[in-house]
Each structure stands twice: as C-alpha cells, then as structure tokens.
Structure 1
Amino acid sequence: MLKRKFIVPVALSSALLVGSIPVSSVFAKPIDSKVVNSVQASKKWNENASVPLFVKERFAEKFSSSTPSNALNYLKKNEGKTGIKNPDKSLKVKDTQKDELGMTHVRFNQSINGVNVEGSEVIVHFNKNNEVVSINGRINQTIADDTVDTTASLRSDTALKTAMSTVNAPNELTYEPTTELVVYPFEGENHTAYKVNVNFMGDEPGNWFVFVDAKTGQVIDKYNGLMHADEIRTQKGVGKGVHGDHRELHISQVKEPKSGTKFALADYAHENLEAILTYDSKNDTDTRNDTLYVGNSAAFIGDYDRAAVDAHYNSEKVYDYYLNEHGRNSLDGKGMAIKSYVHYDKNYNNAFWNGAWMTYGDGDGEFFISLSAGLDVAAHEMTHGVITHTANLVYRDQPGALNESFADVFGALVDDKDWEMGEDIMAPAAKADGVTRLRSLSDPNSVKVSNAQRAAYGSGVYPAHMDEFYHMPRNVDNGGVHVNSSITNHAAYLIGQEIGRKKLGQIYYRALSVYLTPNSNFSDARKAIVQSAIDIYGAGSAEEAAVNSGFDAVGIY
C-alpha cells in the first residue's frame, strides 16, 4: 500500500473569485431560462468554509476501474473526510484524463440543480492500480447547505444585450457571444447569473466575461480576460526576421483567380494539427480587413514581412516544444489551428491572447519594436492558450498572477537562452534608458514597474518575495496579475537552478494540466507543484526538496 499523509483542508479566501471558461465551453449552446431554472441565494457564505485541498489517503482505496462513477462512490463514502456533502447531487463530471504515468484524473464542477457554481472544481486522482490516492480543488461549501431557489425571470438574450452594452461591444464580434447560467459567489452573496462571454477586436480589444443577475438584470461583475503581453500544398520557404535572422518556414502555395500562384504563411505539415496560420491585420483594428499573410515568392524578406516571419516561425517552435516535451498537440491538446495576427493597429505596444488566437503589435519604436520578434513572447501568449484549455486560471488577483507566471515560466523554458522576459522586443531608446527587458525571473527586483499606477502600490520594482506583494485593487492590473507574477516566477527560477529546465518543465506542466483549478492561489500552486514532483520523481526526491526550497525562499508556504 502507498503511504499517504493528510493535509488539513484550507479555508476559503475572503471572496471567491470569478472564473473564466475554456474555449471548449464557450461554444456550448446557451442555456435558456425557460428550460433551466436559476439560483438567487441571498444567504451570506461562511469565510471559514473548508475546501478539500490535497486530501491524501494514507492507505489508497482500490476500485475495479478509474471511472467517474467510482470517483463519486469514493466521495460519497468519505463525505466527512472531504467536506463535500451529497457529491452525487452537487458534482457534475467535467472531464476525465489519463496521463503518461498511468494515473486517471476525474474533474468535477460543483453544481446546484444542474447549474454550475462558477470556478468551483474538485479533482479525484486514481493511480495506475485504480486506487484513489488524492483529491484537490475548491468548492463553496455553504451553497451546498443552502435551500436554493432555482427560478429565473430574465431571458438569456436580454442578459446578452445588457452585457454587450456595458462593455461597449462593437457590432462585429470575433465569434458568437455565449451565455451560460451559473451560480456566482461574489462579495458575500451567492447570485444566480448569466455568464456572458463577448470577444471583439478594435482599438480596445476585449475578451469580456460579464455576470448579469438572472432576476434583476443588473450587472453583478465583469472583467476583461484578454491575456496580454483552393488547393493548398505545404512546402519549405525562407524569411528574414525582425532582427535579421534567417528563418526556415513551412509555407503553402495558394492559387488566386486574378494573380495566379502565390505563397502563404500557412503550415499544414504537422500530423494531426489543423494548421499554423499567420494573418496580416494591415495596421488597423478592423478584423474584416485581415487576410492570410501572402507573398509573391517563397522568400519573405521584405521589411514589412519581418514581423510575420517571426510570428510564423516562433509559433512552430512553441508548438514543437509542447508536442516534444509534453506530448501536447496544440494549445487545446487536440490539434486546434494556431493563429497569429501581426501588424495590429498602429504603434501598438502590446501582444495578447484573446481566447482564440495571438495578436502582435508593431510597437511604437520607442519602447517596443515588433512584439512578434520575441520567442519568449510567443511562448508566453501561446501558453495562455494552453492555460485556457487546462487549469483555466481566472485572470484576476492571485489566480491571474499564476496565469501570467506560468506563461512567463514556459516562455523562459522555450526561449532558454536566459531567464528574462521580453529582452528581444525592447526598442533602442528603451535600452538606452536602461529598460532592457520586461521582467526577470532570476532577479525580479532589478526591473522597475513601468506603470506609475501599478508602482504606487509597492516598492516600484517587481517583487521577489511575499513580503513585497503588491496589494492592488482589481481595477489596476486586474489585481496585480503582471506585477505579483514575479514572486512565483522567482520560485520557478530557483527550482530550475537546482534541477534543470527540463525537469522544471515536466513538473510545472503536470501541475498546470492535472492539479490546478480556476481559483487556485499561490499556496495551492505550491501544493500542486510539490505533488507533481512527487508523482514524477518520488516522495523524498531531490526534485521534491528543490520545489519546497524554492517556494520557501519566496515566502509561499
């Protein structure tokens, strides 16, 4: 039998955080209020409600198979141990995954009368012998104790109109907006709300999640989940990158009716991958003008081509990393097309993942050059896509800082020449002023927080320890997602120094894809990363010790 220890369940934080949804859920059909009843619970929830976080079995319990039904059987039998009451009624199966170690992970959403509780998930972990060995996640336990009224008076299309109005959404959207009925714990109350996702480009692009009360029609909460910074035959092509680097590319011939054969930055060379595609936004924000990036020859060497060449080249590099290191086929793990848009707007100083693709500005030439020049930037943005399809960490407060941190860590693992972020996209003028990179995993304090509004909440430099944590309101950097990410970044650097980049990547990917849930905080991340090290390298291993030491050093206990 496997020896296990118990970890005391952790109390809920003072407020449950809003959770974003993966793209796979975005395209689900909206739930009609006539069909599904809604929830409006006014009871205050208990800040001390316990949640199961790495409840480990001292002696594993064996089943005939690692199935969702057996996971529920275990939870029903052990309600007192886990604190999850009536799991067969309060949990819905979200996903079942089997990993390379032979373990099976059954992920549940907490639900009331079939309506998901936003951001509340529990994962049951079986080993290869069909034994339940651990459980982790976060639930709102007080909701399970409530007698919940499940009636709604607002139509989903009315909620959609309200959401679009409150975020000033344009008529043209990136994809069809979605509406889902959820139970939404927010600021001490459990609301029934329509969770509306609206995605658009433009001068101020957005991937908004808006929560509209299902009875009153009032907006409860909202946040922008935009995560910054004819016959086709694939063949080999070449290009010149932003810094003049020679790039070998996978491109495709396209036949156009009036101009004959041309060449597109469209890569169909990878088995079971839909494509790697690069588009030209033509220095505006109107997506109707965007087209696949096309040239007259197989050599993309013009000045305007350079940003597109790097975006296309770097996308393939990041795809190869996730496939070769982690067996992951594209951002969703199922071969979805990897799309990049370059030349977005004029002098645009940003790059972002909008929930569906990467977008790169050209920079203003003063602070940034073309942001597609950075392999670490591409890896960062594409990792946001991986996060969307795994832990789906909420883009606010500590979960949002973890979202940014994991993106930075994998950016530094893919672009492995140093532990800095963004050094290849800084403009000469910025470098002359001493701004040579955006963030440093190795020495966070060496980088100033450039945004004065953010800097006002701390020392003015990126923090390396919880003693330096920036306590920001949510209207500043979504609660400090970029600034506070440097604390967990530094922990990753310290761990990597002890065990090497490859092992660091294996451990962090496992934590992201197996253990973390939407509302995971820094302490949860430590537990998940430690457990991942144990899974791969064994209890008492040097790798486990390195992880514990790294988090101790930055004050995350």
Structure 2
Amino acid sequence: MSTSPTPRRTPARRRATAIGAFVAAAALLGVTVQATTASADQASSGTKADAGALPQQLSPSQRAELIRAADATTAATAERIGLGAKEKLVVRDVIKDRDGTTHTRYERTYAGLPVLGGDLVVATDKSGTVKDVNRASKARLAGTGTSADVKAASAEKQALGASKADGSTKLKTSQEPRKVVWLADAKGGAPKLAYETVVGGLQEDGTPNELHVVTDARTGKKLGEWQGVHQGTGNTQYSGQVPLTTQQSGSQYTLTDTARGNHQTRNLNRGTSGSGTLFSGPDDVWGNGQASNAETAGADAHYGAALTWDYYKNVHGRNGIRNDGRGASSRVHYGNNYVNAFWQDSCFCMTYGDGSGNAKPLTSIDVAAHEMTHGVTAATGNMQYSREPGGLNEATSDIFAAAVEFNAKNASDVGDYLVGEKIDIRGNGTPLRYMDKPSKDGRSLDNWSSSAGNVDVHYSSGIANHFFYLLSEGSGAKVINGVSYNSPTYDNKPVTGIGIDKAAKIWFRALTTKFTTTTNYAAARTGTLAATGELYGTSSPEYTAVANAWAAVNVGARP
C-alpha cells in the first residue's frame, strides 16, 4: 500500500489534538508574546557571520560520499598528523563548511584496541591541506603494552559492584569486558591498558542503566565510570493545538513523520523495555488535551521532535541527529509515576515518563529538544558523561532546548531560559533549573571552581548554562517574554549579550568541530573562541563577548 506524508492541523469540528482546549482558552484571553530578547533587539547589529564558515546542508548521499573519501585516506591522514605505526583512524563523522573546509571526526585504535579519549577532529581546506587538529588527548601511545595482568572477570565484578553501589537493580553486563587503551583520565597522564565493562539493568529511579566502568588491566584499579543513558526533565504537554506530520496507509494513520526521517512515536504503556507500540488510528487526530488520553503525550512528543529536527536543519544545516537523514524514535508512557525523560544512543530513542501521579507527561518542546540534543552530542563532540565534560554535555542539551523553544515561537510555551518551569517538580511552582542564575535551584553552580568536576553533571552544567545566558542576553535585570531575569557575574563586571541566535551558532560550531570526549571548561572556552573567530573574526564584538561571558563565570580572563 502506498503511503504519503500528511501535514495535519486539526479541524475545529473534531476533537482537539494534544492540548487544543488550552489553546482555545489562551485565544479567548487574548494572550500575546512580546519579542524582547537580545536576538530581536540586535538582529541587524553586530558582525555578520562569515558565510563560508557556516556548515553546508548535506544530503545523506553527499555525507556518505565524504565519509567514503575520508575512509579511503585514513592511513595517509594518520601519518600526516603524526600518529604512530600501531595507530589507526576510524571515521565517525564528516561536516563540510560552505568554503570547502572539511571537519572529519575520528576515533582512534592502537594495536587494534579502541582508544577511549583518543578521538580527534581534523580540519582540511578544499585543497586537502590540514588546517587544524583538535585532539581529546595529546598523550603519545608509542610503547603502550597490550598484555593484561588482570582477568576480564575481575573487571566485570568491579563494574557490577560499582553499579550496585549506585543503587541500580536487575544488574547484568550488557557486553563482555573489552580491552581498550584509556586516555580519558581527567588529570591527563600516561595511557593505560584497561577493560571497559557496560552494566545494564535499571538505575535507582527506574531509568535504564548503561554504566560504563573502566578498569586498569595491570592493577585492577577503577579508572573511571560514566552513565550512557542521558537524563533530563522539562515542561508538561502544553504546546497547544499543533500540526503533525503523520503517515497514512489505507484507512489508518500512524505517528510516523515521513518528512523527518520516518521518526516514529510509540507507546510503552507503562512498560520499561522494548520499543512499544506505534501510535495508530483511523482519523489522524491525536489526543484530547488530557494526560488520561494516551495519545496526548504521543502528540506532544511527536511535535517536539519535529520542531527540534527543523531547528537543526533550518538553522544549522544538520539533517537529523546524526546528520544522515535518519529519524530517531520517541517512546512515551515509560514506567509508572516516572518523573524524568532520557536519551539512549543504543536504541537511538527518546523516552518520556508521565510524571508524578502519571498526570504530567514530560513531553514538551524543551524536553524533546533536550533529549534529541543528547543524540546530536553523542554524534559530534560526545563529551563523556561525567566530571566537567559531563557538565558540558548536559548544558549543551539545556542550551539547545532554549534555542529550539525560542525558535518555535509557540504562543502556549514561549521561549525562556528556564528548565522545567511548568512541570512543578518541587510542588511550589518553581523551575527545575535557571540559566540566568543557576544557583537559584539550590544546587547548580553559577561559576567554575576547581571542584566543578566533582559535582553531579546536572549541576555542574550550570556554569555553561550561565555562560550561554550571559552571551545571549547579557548581565543585569531584564524582562524577556514576560519572564524576569537578573544575571550576576563572577568578576562583577557587565556583559553585553549578542543574541541567542548568534550564541547558538557559536556553540554549535564548537560542538561539531572543536569539542571532544575530554573537553572541560577551559577547553570549551578555547573551542568557542576559535569558533567565534571563524564565524565573526577575532576582532569582532562577538569574540570579545565570548571572552567576557567566560570570564563572568570564572573561566579565563577578559581581554
């Protein structure tokens, strides 16, 4: 049976999709949204981005051809950038700028073993000359031994013990411990032969568990651990009556977005495993605005995924999460009273709980954008989900959640720099996180300190969130879209914002061409300054603003 994409806006005579009832009430009240962001104020001021430094929008076949070309020259590239005889490069992704500069992201192997923390990005001009190399580690691998003194079973036992200590249950190893070379030590140091073990099961709050534990193959000491399931929370379902792209087959419709890589939205029906059931129905109308209707959460998740796809494609030229044109999937109604949402790279999917009392599904615009961005990060900078890189990983999802929300211009869920402002997770009406002053939540960091790497990634993310807010909107008191902000600075000096659109372009370029698995806050400053220089020039107001915003959160100094 032939199928075709069906962009849908619910007819008034049919039952409301998503939360149409809320939109009707808002229209009756005459709700308006004022465009008072720095982006609007400065849309025509400042420096225009160098068009040549912006990414080309590649079709899947064009991207595949670039990857094939890079694959064919990995040996020559390894030699040109000074890798040893036992080291090989594995192409992970390729991005091409409009001026012909190509940014190829590589994983590295040594004597056939994966090198954790050995990833790098090589920038070449259109003639093939290497312009820049961004490495996760500068350590040399020559002379690293590959014979283990510790048995794999001991590494597995250690990993299971670490996961149990974290409160996880139903533990099982997802794969046999694999021998690797470890370069991702937070303090640097010499490379080490190690085992990587991945433990499955469930985390303490019911979230799936993918704990990666790295064990020294010589001494048995635990070298590091990080969680492979990236969590986040956000708003409720109140996105209003919205158009959805679906798929029709005969007399049935499904929540399959044929315009966006065949993204599917599926119902887990309170389950905690499997892919769930694809939403389907005879009338192409989804939900009634109430959480008790299973389709409502599906409509919101489907809509948020579409907005996020469109944002990355239209603003940054990225064709899907992995830039390959393939849509992920959304799973709603995870577990019972589950107050969270998460991304899993292993299933290429976003998953949403229904909140306390199963009354507030976590399926709003910024939640979808946050979780999908974890996928974009996994495909690009892939900052390891622990210590300072983990804070940057989590902040990246908050940053683009805000950018997508502003870009969507949805009257029922206007753009803001708050995280979880409608879910009321604390029961007192306050947001989960604040980007203008992260410490207002009682736990997040406003500024960098030497102990930032010891803080949970959801709270150390405050440093980058604060930087991004200052870069976008500037310091001091202001009202944006009806929300009051008052952002302080570490050095008590003012920061002038450049607008969220420019700030997001800078962060995206740094994420996709500069950041690596080991990027910390100091390296993030270096990467964003380099990205700004390429986009706007090193003598531009934007370059000064980036340096000032980092200094304002105690990362580096003002120029």
TM-score, normalised on structure 1?
0.69
Task: Note the C-alpha offset of 1:180.
Answer: 4.0
Describe the shift of the 1:323–1:113 C-alpha distance in structure 2 as closer, same or farther (beyond 3 A): same
Question: Is residue 238 of structure 2 the alignment partner of residue 243 of structure 1?
Answer: yes
Q: Which residue of 2 aligns with 1:504?
A: 503
State the SS of the aligned residue for 1:328: coil
Assess if the C-alpha contact under 8 Å between 2:171 and 2:199 holds in 1: no
- Correspondence for 2:362: 371
> Residue 160 and residue 328 in structure 1: after superposition, are their counterparts in 2 closer, same or farther (change >3 A)?
farther
2:477 corresponds in structure 1 to none
From 93, 97, 120, the equivalent of 2:94 is 97
Q: Distance in 2 between matches of 1:552 and 1:165?
A: 41
Q: 1:276/1:183 Cα in 2 relative to 1: closer, same or farther (>3 Å)?
A: same
Within 2, Cα distance between the matches of 1:292 and 1:424?
27
Change (3 A) 1:88 1:215: closer
* Native 8 Å contact 1:93 1:106 kept in 2: no
Aligned pairs for 1:46-65 within 5 A: none
Partners of 1:98 and 1:244 in 2: CA distance: 33
Q: Distance in 1 between matches of 2:306 and 2:516?
A: 28
2:538 & 2:368 partners in 1: Cα distance? Answer: 35
Q: CA deviation at 1:376?
A: 1.1
Conserved 8 A contact 1:419-1:440: yes
How is 1:365-404 mapped onto 2 (pairs within 5 angstroms)?
Answer: 365=357, 369-372=360-363, 374-404=364-394
Q: 1:207 aligns with which of 210, 234, 237?
A: 210
SS at match of 2:351: strand
2 CA distance for matches of 1:89 and 1:156?
Answer: 23
What amino acid does structure 1 have at the position aligned with 2:436? S
The letter of the residue matching 1:196 is T
1:540 aligns with 539
For residues 302-361 of structure 1, the C-alpha deviation after alignment (integer angstroms, 9 at most, x for no partner) is: 332221110011111101111111121211111233211111111111111122211111
Partner of 2:272: 285
- 2 CA distance for matches of 1:414 and 1:383? 10
In 2 relative to 1, CA 163–471 (structure 1 residues): closer, same or farther, beyond 3 Å?
closer
How far is 1:480 from its partner? 2.1
Aligned mate of 2:351, from 354, 359, 384? 359
Indicate conservation of the 8 Å contact 2:432/2:441, yes or no.
Answer: yes
Q: Which amino acid aligns with 2:469?
A: Y
Contact 1:91–1:108, Cα closer than 8 Å, also in 2: no
Partner Cα distance (2:283, 2:302) in 1: 16
Q: Is the 8 A contact 2:103 2:122 kept in 1?
A: yes
Aligned residues of 2:93 and 2:380 also touching (Cα < 8 A): no
Aligned pair in 2 of structure 1 residues 181, 339: CA closer, same or farther (>3 Å)?
same
Give yes or no for contact 1:98–1:104 (8 Å, CA) kept in 2: yes
Q: Name the aligned partner's letter for residue 440 of structure 2.
A: S
1:148 aligns with 2:144: yes
For residue 19 of structure 2, what is the aligned residue in structure 1?
Answer: none
Unaligned stretches of 5+ in structure 1?
1-65, 77-85, 230-240, 256-260, 450-461, 474-478
Kindly report which structure 2 residues correspond to 1:141-220, keeping only aligned pairs within 5 A, or say none: 141=139, 143-144=141-142, 147-152=143-148, 167=163, 177=175, 180-185=178-183, 190-198=191-199, 203-212=206-215
- 1:27 counterpart residue number: none
Q: How many residue pairs get matched?
A: 436
Which of 51, 74, 81 is equivalent to 1:75? 81
Give the whole-Å Cα distance in 2 for the aligned partners of 1:205 and 1:298.
32
Identity %: 30
Post-superposition Cα deviations, 1:158-192, rounded to whole Å, max 9, x if no partner, equal 9779857874798899x974764311256977543
Deviates more, 1:159-168 or 1:183-192: 159-168
Corresponding letter in the other structure for 1:426: D
- Measure the CA separation in 1 of the matches of 2:258 and 2:176: 30
Q: CA deviation at 1:380?
A: 0.7
Secondary structure of the residue aligned to 1:287 is coil
Residue 295 of structure 1 aligns to which amino acid in structure 2?
G
CA RMSD of aligned residues (A): 3.4
5+ residue gaps, structure 2, are 1-71, 407-414, 474-496
Tell me the TM-score normalised to structure 2 length: 0.69
Letter in 1 for 2:248: Q
User: Would the alpha carbon gap of residues 178 and 137 (structure 1) be closer, same or farther in structure 2, given more than 3 Å must change?
Assistant: same
